[in-house]
Amino acid sequence: MPNQFLRTALTASDWGLLWLRVSGSLLLLQVHGLPKLLHFNEQLSLIEDPWHLGAKLTLCLAIFAEVFCPLAIILGLFSRLACVPILAVLLVALVVVHPEWSLAEGQFAWLLLIIFSTLCIAGPGGIAVSRRLPGRAAGLVYFQ
């Protein structure tokens, strides 16, 4: 069976969504995710805990959203689903933890919110690992 991925003509939208996935995810990883992961013990004393889950659980959830989800998005592996934890963390940061931030103070968070909500709506585009999944997983188009 010929490789359908190679036979499909890629559009400018596919390349644009790839760029959005990779650039947005790398920004989130570099600025928020990796510092939390690499300085875990230091971050325990710094992280806000708005839901009173405990600093360790809150930090682990943030690391999941800011490290593992961006990696899945870069690959195009269930990208829409991977956007949900990122959007949740961003909304909690903007609405619950830092409601006093002006638009200028929260501009990076707002831009990330725009990037990942766009990806959640549009999906990963044609250049994505999830497009090559076999069987039932390929049928989960909405979560790609």
pLDDT above 60: residue 5: no
Candidates 6, 97, 110, 26; CA nearest to 67 is 26
pLDDT in tens, 80-114: 999 999 999 999 999 999 999 999 999 999 999 99
Tell me how far apart the alpha carbons of residues 24 and 139 are, in angstroms, rounded to a whole number: 26
Domains in the chain: how many in total?
1
- Domain span at residue 24 reads 4-143
32 conformational bin, left if phi > 0, alpha if psi -120 to 50, beta if neither: alpha
Q: What number is the average pLDDT over the span 111-133?
A: 92
Tell me how far apart the alpha carbons of residues 108 and 123 are, in angstroms, rounded to a whole number: 22
∠ at Cα 138 (134, 141), nearest 5°? 170
pLDDT of residue 134: 75
Are the CB atoms for 64 and 36 separated by under 8 Å? no
Give the residue, 133 or 66, on which the prediction is more confident.
66
